[in-house]
Amino acid sequence: MYKELRQECFEANMQLPKLGLVLFTFGNVSAVDRANGVFAIKPSGVPYEELKWEDIVIMDYDAKVVNGKMRPSSDTKTHALLYKTWDDIGGITHTHSTHAVAWAQAGMDIPIFGTTHADHTHQDIPCAPALSDEMIKGDYEHETGNQIFGIFEQKGLSHKEVEMVLLQNHGPFTWGKDAAKSVYNAAVLEEVAKMAMLTLQINPNTLKLKDSLRIKHYERKHGKDAYYGQGC
Q: Which residues, at least 6 apart from 205, have a Cβ–Cβ distance to it below 8 Å?
A: none
The closest of 164, 168, 174 to 147, measured between CA atoms, is 168
Length of the chain in terms of residues written: 232
Catalytic residues: 119, 228
Q: Which amino acid is at 205?
A: N
27-33 and 91-95: which strand pairing?
A: antiparallel
178-187: burial string, b at 16+ Cβ within 10 Å, e else? bbbbbbbbbb
65-67 and 57-60: which strand pairing?
A: antiparallel
- What percent of the residues of the chain are helix, what percent strand, and what percent coil, each to the nearest 5? 45, 15, 40
